[in-house]
Amino acid sequence: MTNFNSVDAILDFAIKNEQEAQKFYAEIAENTTRSGSKALFESFVAEEKRHEEKLKAVKEGQAMAPAAGNVTDLKIADYVVDAPVEPNMDFQKALILAMKKEKAAFMLYTHLANRVEGDLKEVFLSLAQEEAKHKLYFETEYDDHVLTDN
């Protein structure tokens, strides 16, 4: 993990992470073949953009609402094999990538929350819960559309 010398450096790191997530979901949207998947992954581009905007607002001094409880973890992401983004990617691979990405984001924000105090800690805990919700969404999709088909 990077050593940060200021709150702004931590926030800049988190903002960059959200920008990378937007690119990631845009790439999946462009490469998935399942009908309706493009719109699904584009909606997550917008979700990650909202996270970026929240972080920028916090950097400018605005408060952010605290996390609203814990999110269920189906742990499917713990047991699936990583897959690279590739042209004409099937829905199963796209979901695996998304689950893994959201798990990593959850872990990042949890780690950042453990490195700071006060309001910033609450910001990162709230973002961790949002990423957990995203992961749960993708795990549920995987359970509903992949595991039931096999």
| Token digits of residue 108 | 């990042």
First to last CA, the chain: 38
Q: What is the pLDDT of residues 76-129, one digit of tens each?
A: 566 556 666 778 888 888 898 899 999 999 999 999 999 888 888 999 999 999
Q: What is the pLDDT of residues 1-41, one digit of tens each?
A: 567 788 888 899 999 999 999 999 999 999 888 878 899 99
Rounded distance, CA 38 to CA 10, Å? 32
Q: What is the pTM of this model?
A: 0.81
Rounded distance, CA 12 to CA 66, Å? 20
Based on the number of CB atoms within 10 Å of its own CB, is 62 exposed (0-12), middle (13-18) or buried (19 or more)?
exposed
pLDDT of residue 66: 60
% of the chain with per-residue pLDDT over 90: 49
Asked if 67 contacts 126 with a C-beta cutoff of 8 angstroms, the reply is yes
Domains of the chain: 7-147 (1.20.1260.10)
Report which listed range, 42-51, 68-77, 112-121, is most confident: 42-51
